[in-house]
Amino acid sequence: MNAPRLNRREFVAATSIGSLATVAAQAVPARAGVSRSAGKLAARGGTPVRTKGFPGWPIWDKEHDEERVLSVLRSGVWSRSRVVAEFERKYAELLGAKRCLATTNGTHALITSLKSLGIGVGDEVLVGPYTFVASIGVIFLSGALPIMIDTDRETFLVNPEKMEEKITPNTKAILPVHIYGLPANMDRINAIARKHNLMVVEDACQAWLAETDGKKCGTHGNLGCFSFQNSKHLTCGEGGAVLGDDDRVMDLAYSFHNFGRGGPHLGTKCRMAEFQAAILLAQMKRLEEQTQRRWENGTYLTSKLRDIPGIIPHRLYDGVTRAVYHLYPFRYDPREFNGVPRGKFIAALRAEGIACSGGYGRLNKAPFIEDTLSSRDFQRMYSKQQLDHCREQIECPDNDALCNEAVCFSQRLLLGTKEDMDDIANAIEKIYENRDQLA
């Protein structure tokens, strides 16, 4: 028998406490979450909204992925060669960049970029703290100082309006991160960079095929960096890439990632292997379709969540033509949930069968920052005044607030169907309607 699907309002009406009698009287056909006890939150022993899982990750098949890997295996050429070169050509073409350099991972893509642009000891790099540790770690590792720019809580992205006040004669570059696959405000950031003669290295490690006005993230700045780690939308386990249009800089990047050979400076080795490129070429076949599905599902989810009191979906900047949702974020306001703290809300949502997390922590306050600033290396490289200037920028009140209010869904959830998005919205609304049970 086909059970009729309820829309969200009907579902919540049917599952909230006050409607149990109606549900029983109408004998609503069996569906996860719709039962006599459906108004009881799963965290309190009720029936979860969802009992089946979401799509798994990564996705591969015999025809594409297995065959390509086996063909590299059989060739006996496993170090960087023609398969990596083919991947570089195709990825540059896909994103609309002149050149691509494949690397061992996204962290090395970022370090290669900073080195190729001549950023190092004595330089300051503007960066937002709402990101993965590597975005800030690479600045220190290149010998430069990260200068924190507070986050825009509405967009989850670095706030360009807070950048100019932090620029000093030592500022050399901006490192905007398209966190969660949400495009940063590159028009504004590039305008600031032009005005102050700064370079721009985009951390697009979570933003494959995200775009603003049709232009892909990673192609707006001087260089753009990507990660292909296991959880990423384009993955080969571990891998990375640098995109750029300037042949001189890309030649330096190539040389740096190959011990410095053929170039003027010392380098290291962070070359991608043929196996990695083989998997990426296979994965690339699915990227556009999967990316579009996440975008459509994310847009649909936003349209459903924005009506629920206390749930504030992220805002996209004007001109964004596609966000790719490595994570889908919203802000949770406990005041609308009778003061139920975020941790309890997250636990309740998980109990309803919806995997979620609280997103990033306060990277601006992470112990590695003071540890690095007070290290022997940095004490030798910088004056106390310069180190203190870096320390003083660590206060980012909007970022601190965001880290307390964010709730995120993994990209896997957005690979599902529209009905899966309904389940997510239904679970949140069920918690809202029954928030008294969490008191």
**Non-local CB neighbours of 79 within 8 Å, separated by 6+ positions:** 271, 273, 274
Nearest of 5, 15, 35 to residue 437 by alpha carbon: 15
Strands (E), 189-274: 199-203, 211-212, 215-216, 223-227, 240-244
* Nearer residue to ligand PLP within complex by CB, 152 or 203: 203
Both tokens assigned to 424: 């997510």
- Binding segment for ligand PLP among 41-49, 119-127, 203-211, 415-423 (CB under 6 A)? 203-211
**Non-local CB neighbours of 318 within 8 Å, separated by 6+ positions:** none
* Nearer residue to ligand PLP within complex by CB, 229 or 386: 229
Length of the chain equals 439
Taking CB under 6 A as the rule, does residue 131 contact ligand PLP?
yes
Provide the residue type at 35 as one letter. Answer: S
Taking CB under 6 A as the rule, does residue 142 contact ligand PLP?
no
Please report where in the chains the tokens 């494949």 appear, as a residue.
102
**Non-local CB neighbours of 354 within 8 Å, separated by 6+ positions:** 49, 50, 409, 413, 423, 424, 427, 428
* Nearer residue to ligand PLP within complex by CB, 135 or 302: 135
Give Dmax (Cα) for the chain.
81
Nearest 5°: phi and psi at 420? Answer: -65, -40
Q: Of these, 151, 155, 206, 437, which contacts ligand PLP (CB under 6 A)?
A: 206
Both tokens assigned to 280: 């990426």
The distance of closest approach from Cβ of residue 411 to ligand PLP in the complex, given in angstroms and rounded to an integer, is 12
Give me the 173-192 binding string for ligand PLP, x by CB under 6 A, dash otherwise: ----x---------------
**Helix, strand, coil tally for the chain in percent (to 5):** 45, 15, 40
Taking CB under 6 A as the rule, does residue 103 contact ligand PLP?
no
- Tell me how far the alpha carbon of residue 17 is from its chain's centroid: 37
Q: Of these, 203, 211, 420, 429, which contacts ligand PLP (CB under 6 A)?
A: 203
Nearest of 60, 31, 27, 65 to residue 48 by alpha carbon: 31
- Binding segment for ligand PLP among 88-96, 105-113, 298-306, 362-370 (CB under 6 A)? 105-113
Interface with ligand PLP: number of residues (CB under 6 A): 14
The distance of closest approach from Cβ of residue 203 to ligand PLP in the complex, given in angstroms and rounded to an integer, is 5
Residues 128, 176: contact at Cβ < 8 Å? yes
Taking CB under 6 A as the rule, does residue 382 contact ligand PLP?
no
The distance of closest approach from Cβ of residue 37 to ligand PLP in the complex, given in angstroms and rounded to an integer, is 40
The DSSP code sequence of 99-123 is EEEEESSHHHHHHHHHHHTT--TT-
The distance of closest approach from Cβ of residue 313 to ligand PLP in the complex, given in angstroms and rounded to an integer, is 21
Helix (H, G, I), strand (E, B) or coil at 226: strand
Taking CB under 6 A as the rule, does residue 229 contact ligand PLP?
yes
Taking CB under 6 A as the rule, does residue 227 contact ligand PLP?
yes
* Nearer residue to ligand PLP within complex by CB, 177 or 427: 177
The distance of closest approach from Cβ of residue 263 to ligand PLP in the complex, given in angstroms and rounded to an integer, is 23
* Nearer residue to ligand PLP within complex by CB, 107 or 255: 107
The distance of closest approach from Cβ of residue 144 to ligand PLP in the complex, given in angstroms and rounded to an integer, is 16
Strands (E), 214-256: 215-216, 223-227, 240-244
Residues 107, 205: contact at Cβ < 8 Å? no
The distance of closest approach from Cβ of residue 105 to ligand PLP in the complex, given in angstroms and rounded to an integer, is 4
Taking CB under 6 A as the rule, does residue 236 contact ligand PLP?
no
Taking CB under 6 A as the rule, does residue 291 contact ligand PLP?
no
Provide the residue type at 422 as one letter. Answer: D
> Measured between alpha carbons, how far is 413 from 424 in angstroms, rounded to an integer?
9
The distance of closest approach from Cβ of residue 341 to ligand PLP in the complex, given in angstroms and rounded to an integer, is 27
Taking CB under 6 A as the rule, does residue 283 contact ligand PLP?
no
Q: Of these, 128, 146, 240, 244, which contacts ligand PLP (CB under 6 A)?
A: 240
Taking CB under 6 A as the rule, does residue 134 contact ligand PLP?
yes
* Nearer residue to ligand PLP within complex by CB, 128 or 313: 128
* Nearer residue to ligand PLP within complex by CB, 143 or 237: 237
What is the binding site for ligand PLP (CB under 6 A)?
105-107, 131-132, 134-135, 177, 203, 205-206, 227, 229, 240
